[in-house]
Amino acid sequence: MSELWLEYRDRLAGGWKCISYEIYDGASPDAKVVSRPQGTNPMGRSYLSRHGYLAAHLATPDRMRASDTGMPWAKRSDAEIAHVARGLSMYCGYMELFKDEKGLFWKTKVEIASDPTRVGGFQTRRVELSEENGHAIKIVRPVDPILLDVSERDLSS
């Protein structure tokens, strides 16, 4: 465990609720929102253990309503499962915290993910910490570019 993690652990460790998830067309102050992959009111949680283990989950709310057929989830149709799965983004693994001239960032070695191409790789995020109205705020931004199929639905939902 790095000394940098120990320095920030008390501010980062714990459970966090996602209140916004937006993709911008750049990092400049005048960048425009090009996508809201999980809609305007995303369901999302992340948990950082005191030992640096990260679990992050994002979901599109309208995809989390399965039909109430009484049938076990594992026996549902591929179409129903795919509908829910396309609205999920999850990964977990141990992370390391770093600091450079731009600020804090972490690098997570992915152990499990909803996207199998992430497993074994790294997810790197810039992190900003602040407080607003007595609530801790954590802004997390991907370091590596994300390729998206942007649609009008992304911006209006």
pLDDT tens per residue, range 62-110: 888 767 778 888 898 899 889 888 888 999 999 999 999 989 999 999 9
Nearest to 106 by CA among 90, 130, 89, 122: 122
Segments forming the whole domain that contains residue 128: 3-156
Domain count of the fold of the chain:
1
Which residue in the block uniquely carries the two structure tokens 């801790």? 136
Task: State pTM to two decimals.
Answer: 0.81
The whole-angstrom distance between residue 61's C-alpha and the CA centroid of its chain comes to 14
The CATH number linked to 99 is 2.40.128
101: left (phi over 0), alpha (psi -120 to 50) or beta: alpha
Contact 53, 94 (CB under 8 A): yes
Based on the number of CB atoms within 10 Å of its own CB, is 27 exposed (0-12), middle (13-18) or buried (19 or more)?
Answer: exposed
Digit-coded pLDDT (tens) for 72-85: 888 988 998 898 88
